[in-house]
Structure formats: structure tokens, C-alpha cells
Amino acid sequence: MKTGNEQRDTLAAPAGRRDWLAGGWALFWENPIGKIGLILMACFALMAAASFVPPLLDPMYHPMHGVDPEISHATGPSAAHWLGTDFIGRDILSQLLAGARIAFMVGLSAAFMSIFFGTLIGMISGYAGRFVDTLLMRIADMVMVMPTLLVVLILSSLFGQLRIWTIVLLIALFRWPGVSRVIRAQTLTLKHRPFIEAARVTGASHLRIIFRHIFPNVLPLALLYMTFRVTSAIIIEAALAFLGFGDPGTVSWGMMLQWVWKTGHMFQAPYWLLPPGICISLLTLSFYMLGRAMEEVLDPRLRKEGESE
Amino acid sequence: MDLLEPHPQGAVLRTSIMKTDSPIAVELVEATKIFRTKKTFFGRSGEQVTALDRVSFSIRQGEIFGLVGESGSGKTTAGRLIVKLDEPDSGKVLVDGVNLSEIRGHKMKRFRRRIQMIFQDPYQSLNPYLSVYQTVCEPVVIHRLAAPQKRLETVVSALSQVGLTPPEDYLFRYPHQLSGGQRQRVAIARSTVLNPEIIVADEPTSMLDASISIQIFNILVRLKQNLNATFLFITHSLAAALYLCDRIAVIRKGKIVEMGPAKAIIRKPEHPYTRELIRSQPRFRKKTEQRGSFRPWENGATSS
Amino acid sequence: MALLEAEHLSIGYRTRNGLLRAVEDVSFSLELGGSLGFVGESGCGKTTIGMALMGLLPANGSIVSGALRFKGQNLVGISDERLRKLRWKEIAMIFQAAMNALNPIQRVGDQIVEAIRLHEPEVSAAQAAERVRSLFSLVDLDPERSRDYPHQYSGGMKQRAIIAMALACRPDVIIADEPTTALDVIVQAQILAEIRRVQKEMDVAVLFISHDIAVVAEVCRHIAVMYAGQIVEQGTREEVFETPAHPYTQALLDAYLTIEEEDAALPQAMKGETPNLIVPQKGCRFYDRCPHADAQCRQEPPTWISLSPTHKVLCYGPRS
């Protein structure tokens, strides 16, 4: 859809947008919640990146298949295993790092997909109105009232173990309606703004109006919702894995918790139970804080645009 | 399209340009528009508001026709019918004799190119996420007016025509970095870059300061001459209509109460409402002859 | 003693890009029962002055220097408590958005009664209701309509009710900030006539703020023309409008279109736009737009020149 010229503008990095971003960033950084959230998230991103290192050092540090030949049961922290090992002698630290990678992957991709569907459906629904709107929003209502976790549990008991990407897709498919409701509401208010009417008068097609005029205006809101969706996706995946419906071929934090529980180490091995539990809480918290801070950045700006700008 | 020489002062030509024998460009025939309000919270049934009540007028080619009325008089609705943002509930809108409601699809797109609108509030009529270049270029892209490598040139010339000079300084700015007057210039550039034949200007200066309004009026008058376009000028200000328009129609509660040459109507109003409107104008006589009798920057005065 | 007096008043807003000097070195005074109009274009600081008088500056705005005196008492640095007492009871305000400030689910009359009893607790409900009836007839509203809800009122009626509310506690001064801007011409003329009449009858001082010179000319005996945070010309209505001295005043008068001109030709537009108030300027603030500017205007700040005991202009003296 982009023409050569339009691409050139984006390349020329207009000073205006940079100012705008810089102003938003300053507001964000001033907010302690945003600062803490971002730092926390950066720590987890580092963990995810570091997850590739231990298996390279020694095959026994492979989170899934690596077993310390000298250890055959759960042991506490030691020089060789900083966080200890699990019941068959696998290194908990490398499992924890691998879990961070999975959590990011699941969280971001499920959130991205649900935002993608939600935004698209919300914009179409709000812009088209009438019949299309009613139809899409009824579907959204139906999906919205389905308990995601329960449906995924039923599906996995029907089809056996689910692959991690199937889980991601299912989460995305069940989590778009909330986003589309919000985006639809925003689109409805935008639809009658004079700049949309001005585009109609110039002869812009419906597609052009939706993607060129409405989309950038709902994008900040969509990104905001994405941070909240990341949180819920991580929690759903962890819950599934803990209940034993996770992808058996991956090491996620929920999976680690399931192993602790299944092997009866709940109260015997705090060094094994606590790290994944704390990580799940902190990572979801960091995205949540990020979202809250973003909300505060967007909010005064949205208000300002309404009245004086 | 023959271009008239722009007048050196960019003004004055208000009556001279009017040709009574030129063909009719736009015509409203018994146009009626009714808005139905939604049911209220307390369950009162929806009310009907007749925005336009069998309104008829015609605008000749090359004319500036003024539609003067107060808020809620239906003047904006009439403009929206002409650019087909709304459809009349009954009656017809004819452009060059063609009924607008019969134009669809691709023909509609071609028609859009010929009729443009300048909106009232420049703070609302520009997309906050598009740069000046993107905004003014959009019509060019939609109607494939210029080859991609010529677009920049087209936009630059449109911007300099509305007095945004040097245009290069404005290309990559966003609306929030512009003043109200600059925004309205960008909006005008967006609608004139297509060289439209008919321009509907819906209170283009009501959100702007007086000195900026004059700048915008001057631009409109100059553009009108350069484009040889037909103007529908919608305003609440009799004074602005007197300065800009050849003919005016005074509209009240969806009905035209008086129509004719601007000067004649304002000097000799016939309808009681027009008289009331003129009587309510703030009494404030400019004393041009005494103006500047004291010029501190030239002759002396005691400094305190 | 002047009722309301400002001396070298400067007001600034803290912004991300630095201190925005919205009002700089402004002095004026308003006598008991007098009327003073501030006229200028958007961003000239006129509304900021009104807000400062009411103690309603936004959180990032503050009086940087100077004094603002009401009956000899400095309003700068006064406690919120004292200011709240002054507000409505002695200084009342009518502003543009006031029409929408009426509570939609309360009868108009009851809202005024409530306002009266809030500020004068000793007044009984019956007395207050009686006062509302007389206020309604004062502003040409049918007293019976005081039992109606705001949505049953037209725009002009709401504005009349707001005026009645402003007068409810018999203030000494009313600050009217663009009170008719949202109204149509015919209603505007009625409301202005109302303000003029009320001012005379109740002997209340009016500080009138508007972008519309003609509106200010209708109501005020004294005029202050503002540009970019400064008053550039001050005088009686006749002095300012008939013998304008400042180039900005002249341009502003030129730009005002009236239906009374015999030969209606569009005036020449004043070039440029209002300067940025964050970047300090050495010379005259009108330098960029002034048709008479020269090198001195860019280098040195202008000074006040008295043309008559009441008329003065911020410009430059004779050139050698």
C-alpha cells in the first residue's frame, strides 16, 4: 500500500514525530512505575538471551535433556548448580533461563496475534456499522464469555498434548474480543471526526480511510492493550502447563512448577519451587506496570488533542 | 481553464467577477434534510430535526455565493449535501445539471475531484498522525494526479500558493506543531491541490483570530481567481459575506429567508429576520480617516 | 483607591521547554463600578489574567512577580481559604464554557440558591429563593423558569442564568471571559445589552475579556489592548478606537470587518503570527509583524509613552 514517496517520509524520520516520541518517553520515564517495569522487563529479556549460554558450556546444562551424571535426585544450590537441580539432576538455573525465553515467546506472540485480530475486527466493525457491526460484535460477545482456560483444557484432552504454537494460537483466538470492543469504540468516535470526512471528500476509499487514517489513531491504544494481553497470555500458558496440559517438549516456568508438584517436592525443595513462581509473578507484573505507565502517557495527550490541539 | 491575472491587492474584485449569464454550476432543488435524534436515556422517542426545509438556490460558475446563518440554521448541512457527505431526504442536488444521488462508484471518485470542501475547524480536520506532506499529497495519490517523482513538486507548489513559505520548512511537520492559521492553510492546500471547480468553504475562519482570518480570506480570494473556481462560502458573519460574496442567501431554521446580491441585501434588507440580524451586529464604526494621527515611531511625544 | 489593581504583574507557565511567560509586566486598575476591557488575540495572555484574578491558574501556572490587589489586599500568595471566600462573594466570573457548567440534573433556581447559601450561610432558603426570583427578573428571565432544568433553556437563557448566578452574592466585580463567544449574533447583542444594564443598575465593576474588539467596545469604558503577554495600549474606548497609536491596535482595527464600510475591499492582512513566548525577546514583541519596525525596535524594548492622562502606548519615542 505504501508508495515510494510515502516510504521516503518515514525514512526521513520527520523531526516532528521524533519530538512527539521524545516527549512521550520523558513522561514515561518520569513515572516510577514505568521505570521499574521497564528495568524488570529488561532483566527478563537478558535472562531469555542468556538461556542459550549454559548448554554451550556443558551439555549437562541443557534444560531438557542435560542430566548431571553425579546427581540423581533433587539437590540444593551448589557451585556447579547455582540454583540446585531437579529430581533427575537437571540444572534449575538453565531451566529458569529457558523458561524466560518461552514466556516471552508465548506472551508476545499470543498478545500480538490477539491485538492484530482485535484491532482489525474492531476497526472494520466500527467503521462499517450496521449489519457488519452487529454480526462481528455478537461473535465477539460469544467468544468473550467462553472461559479461555477451560476451553483449551477441553481441547487438549480431546486432541492429546498440544504443541506450544497451538497453545499460542488458541490464546490469541480467545483473547481478541476485549481488544476489538475498545478499538471499535475508538473507531466510532474517530469516524465522525472532520479529518475522516475530509478524507472522504478527497475521494479516499474505505480501505484507505481505515488503514491510513483510523489505524494510526488507534495504534497507541492497541499497543497499550497488548501489554495487558502479554500478562494474561503468560498466566494462561503457565496455568495450562502446571495442570499438565503444556507442551511436553518445552521447558516453561509452568512446566517446572508441574514437575515440582508431580514429584512431591512442593514442601521439600523451596529452591526449586520458588524461582519459577517468582519469575512468573515478576514478569507479568513488569508488563502490567509498563502498560499502566503507557496509559498515563497516552491519556493526557488524548485529552489534550480533544480540547485544544 | 483560463487563469485570471491575480489582482495586485488580492481583493476588490467582488462584484466585477460576477457574470449573470454564466452557466449554473451547483443547484439545490427543494432539498430537504431531516436528522433523527436517537432515543434519549429517559425513553423519550427520537425527535426529528429538519435541518433543511425545501431549500433551493443555484450558484453560477465563477461566483462566490454566501450562505449566511446562525448556528443550527442548516447552512453547514447544505454544504455537506453538495460534497455528498450527506444525502438529501427529498429534493435534488445538481452539479452541472447532474443529480448527485445518481452518481456512484468510479464516477463518484471522479466527481470528488471536482468538488472540494474546506472545513470549519482546522484543529479537527487534519489527521494528527499525518505530516503536512502526507496530508496534502493524499489527494494527489488517490487521483493519480502526478507521477510519484513529481508529487513533491506538486505539494510544494500547493503549499506556496497558500502562503506557507518556504514550503520545505512545513513538509514534515505534524498538525500539533502548527498554529491554527497554518493548519487551515494546510487544509486549504489539501482541497486546492486537485484544482477543483467547486469549493465549499464551511466557516473557514470561525476558529481563527481576526488578523489570521484576513490572511485566510485573502488566500481564498486569490485562489478563487487562480483556479477560476466557484465558491460556496458558508458563514455566520454578515460582514465577511459582504466583503467576499457576490450573492448571498440568508438562511434561518432550514429555510432561506432572503437571497440576492450581497450589498443590496445588507444595505436594504427586506425580511424582518435579516433586519434583526443587521441590527444585532456590534455597532463599531471604524474611523479610518483619523487612524494613526499619532505615530509614535515617527513624530515626537513625551516619554514617561 | 482602586477596586482592583495590578502592578507589574508577570505570570508564567512551567512547560517542558521552559518557562512560558504568558503575561509580562502588566499594570492596570479598575475603579468601583468601572469597566475595563482586555482585547487581544488567542495566546495574548488575557485569559491568564482572568484566571489569576480568580485564583484559578492551572497547576503549572504561577504569578512570577508583581502584585495583584483587590481593595488594597494583595491576592498574590493569599491562602486558598481566603481566596475561596472572595470568589463569588466579591469577585464573580462569567466565562465562555459556563453555559455547560450548569448541573444538568438540578433545577437552575436551586443551583443558584445553593450557591448563595454556600457563601452566605445566614440567608434562609426562602430568602435565597426570593433573591433568585428578583435576579431572574433583573436579567430578563421569567422567574417561573427558575424551576426548569438546564436542558429546557436555550443557549442565551443559560448565559442569562449564569449572569444571575454571578450576581447572586452581590459581588463588587465581575470577570467576564468571552461570555458571548459561543452565542449567535442576535443573542450576543441581547446579552451584551444585559451586561451593560446590570452593570449600571447594580453598580458592579466589570472586567471584560474578549478577542472581539466590537464586543469590548460595546461594554467597556476603558480598553487595554494585549499582544504576546503585554499590554501595548491602554486608554478610554474613544482614545483607543478613534486614535489608535500602537501599530498592533491599528492592524487589529483594520482586520475587523464591519458591514458599515461603504466600499468593501478586503483589508491588507497583517503578516506573520504571534511570537513564541518561551524564547525571551530583546526588542519589541511586535517587531516581526510591525510595518514600521526598524533596527531600534529589534534591539531595545519599547517604553510607555503617555498621550493623554488616560491614554498610553508601549512603543518608541521620537527618533533623532
Identify the closest residue of chain B to A6 by CA–CA distance: B134
- For the segment B137-167, what is each residue's pLDDT rounded down to a tens digit? 999 999 988 888 888 999 999 999 898 888 8
**Is the per-residue pLDDT at B300 higher than 80?**
no
Identify the closest residue of chain A to B133 by CA–CA distance: A9
Neighbours of chain C (3+ CB pairs under 8 A): B
CB contact under 8 Å between C218 and B284, yes or no, is yes
Q: For A5, which of B123, B148, B191 is closest by C-beta distance?
A: B148
Q: Which residues of B touch C190 (CB under 8 A)?
A: 280
DSSP code for B84: T
Q: Identify the residue among B211, B248, B276, B302 best suited for mutation to test binding to C, counting C beta carbons within 10 A and taking the highest.
A: B211
CA distance B142 to chain A (A): 6
Q: Which part of chain C is CATH 3.40.50.300?
A: 4-90+169-315
CATH topology classification for C4-90+169-315: Rossmann fold (3.40.50)
What is the reported pLDDT for C35? 92
Candidates C156, C194, C180, C186; CA nearest to B273 is C186
What is the reported pLDDT for A301? 52
Q: Which residues of B touch C261 (CB under 8 A)?
A: 242, 286
Secondary-structure breakdown of chain A: helix, strand, coil percentages, each rounded to the nearest 5: 75, 0, 20
What is the reported pLDDT for A306? 35
Q: Identify the residue among B16, B297, B302 best suited for mutation to test binding to C, counting C beta carbons within 10 A and taking the highest.
A: B297
- State the ipTM, two decimals: 0.82
CB contact under 8 Å between B191 and A213, yes or no, is no
Task: Report the SS3 class of residue B62.
Answer: coil
Among A74-83, B98-107, B196-205, C50-59, name the one with the lowest average pLDDT. A74-83
Rounded to a whole number of angstroms, the CA Rg of chain B reads: 21
CB contact under 8 Å between C211 and B210, yes or no, is yes
Identify the closest residue of chain A to B173 by CA–CA distance: A16
Q: Per-residue confidence at A304, pLDDT binned at 50, 70, 90? A: very low
CB contact under 8 Å between B131 and A9, yes or no, is yes
Q: How many C-beta neighbours within 10 Å does residue A262 have?
A: 12
Q: How many C-beta neighbours within 10 Å does residue C104 have?
A: 8
The DSSP code sequence of A26-60 is HHHHHSHHHHHHHHHHHHHHHHHHHTTHHHHH-GG
CB contact under 8 Å between A208 and B131, yes or no, is no
User: How many inter-chain contacts (A to B, CB under 8 Å) are there?
Assistant: 100
Identify the closest residue of chain B to A217 by CA–CA distance: B129
**Is the per-residue pLDDT at B294 higher than 70?**
no
**Is the per-residue pLDDT at B292 higher than 60?**
no
Sheet hosting strand B24-36, strand order edge to edge: B48-60, B24-36, B90-95, B98-99
CB contact under 8 Å between A203 and B142, yes or no, is yes
What is the reported pLDDT for B285? 61
Cβ proximity of B25 and B197 under 8 Å: yes
HEC per residue, C263-289:
CCCCCCCCCCCCCCCCCCCCCCCCHHH
User: Do you find a cis peptide bond into B6, omega within 30 degrees of 0?
Assistant: no
Task: Report the SS3 class of residue B233.
Answer: strand
Task: At B78, list the grid cell.
Answer: 447544505
Whose grid coordinates read 491485538?
Answer: A115
Strand B24-36 to C303-306 pairing: unpaired
Q: Which residues of C touch B179 (CB under 8 A)?
A: 273-274
Pairs from C128-134 (Cβ < 8 Å, separation ≥ 24): C131/C168, C132/C164, C132/C168
Q: Taking an 8 Å Cβ-Cβ cutoff, which residues of chain A contact chain B?
A: 3-6, 9, 12, 14-17, 19-20, 193-195, 197-205, 208, 212-213, 216-217, 305, 308-309
CB contact set of C188 (below 8 Å; sequence gap of 6+): B280, B282, C180, C215
Amino acid at A85: T
CB contact under 8 Å between C243 and B280, yes or no, is no
Region A71-85 average pLDDT: 76
The CA-atom distances, in angstroms, between B69 and each of B176, B224, B225, B241, B252 are 31, 23, 26, 11, 6
CB contact set of C73 (below 8 Å; sequence gap of 6+): none
Whose grid coordinates read 434588507?
Answer: B269
Candidates B187, B251, C218, C303; CA nearest to A202 is B187
CB contact under 8 Å between A203 and B139, yes or no, is yes
CB contact under 8 Å between A198 and B141, yes or no, is no
Amino acid at C12: G
Residues of chain C predicted below pLDDT 70: 1, 97-99, 261-264, 318-320
| Cα(C127)–Cα(A70) distance, integer angstroms | 95
CB contact under 8 Å between B303 and C42, yes or no, is no
DSSP code for A65: T
- For the segment A14-64, what is each residue's pLDDT rounded down to a tens digit? 444 556 667 677 777 778 888 888 999 899 889 888 888 877 777 777 777
> In order of start, what are the domains of chain B with their CATH numbers?
24-278 (3.40.50.300)
Instruction: State which H helix or E strand residue B33 sits in.
Output: strand B24-36
Q: Which comes out higher in pLDDT, residue B295 or B276?
A: B276
| Cα(C124)–Cα(C130) distance, integer angstroms | 10
CB contact under 8 Å between B120 and A204, yes or no, is no
CB contact under 8 Å between B119 and A198, yes or no, is yes
CB contact under 8 Å between A193 and B124, yes or no, is yes
Neighbours of chain B (3+ CB pairs under 8 A): A, C
Q: Which residues of C touch B296 (CB under 8 A)?
A: 245-246, 305, 313, 315-318
Identify the closest residue of chain B to C212 by CA–CA distance: B210
Q: Per-residue confidence at B286, pLDDT binned at 50, 70, 90? A: low
- For the segment B60-102, what is each residue's pLDDT rounded down to a tens digit? 988 999 999 988 888 999 999 999 998 899 998 999 888 888 8
Task: Report the SS3 class of residue B301.
Answer: coil
Region A161-183 average pLDDT: 86
| Cα(A145)–Cα(A116) distance, integer angstroms | 20
Q: Per-residue confidence at B201, pLDDT binned at 50, 70, 90? A: very high
Q: For C211, which of B209, B278, B293 is closest by C-beta distance?
A: B209
CB contact under 8 Å between A16 and B125, yes or no, is no
CA distance A179 to chain B (A): 21
Q: For B243, which of C217, C257, C307 is closest by C-beta distance?
A: C257
Task: At B297, list the grid cell.
Answer: 515611531
> In order of start, what are the domains of chain A with their CATH numbers?
102-307 (1.10.3720.10)
Identify the closest residue of chain B to A7 by CA–CA distance: B134
Q: Identify the residue among B176, B202, B207 best suited for mutation to test binding to A, counting A beta carbons within 10 A and taking the highest.
A: B176
- Dihedrals φ, ψ of B29, to 5°? -115, 110
- For the segment A241-299, what is each residue's pLDDT rounded down to a tens digit? 888 887 877 888 888 888 888 887 778 778 888 888 898 899 889 988 888 888 777 76
What is the reported pLDDT for C19? 85
CB contact under 8 Å between B131 and A14, yes or no, is yes
**Is the per-residue pLDDT at B48 higher than 90?**
no
What is the reported pLDDT for C1? 66
CB contact under 8 Å between A202 and B109, yes or no, is no
Q: Taking an 8 Å Cβ-Cβ cutoff, which residues of chain B contact chain A?
A: 83, 85, 108-109, 112-113, 115-117, 119-121, 123-131, 133-134, 137-139, 141-143, 148, 151-152, 172-177, 187, 190-191, 194
Q: How far apart are the first and last CA of chain C?
A: 40
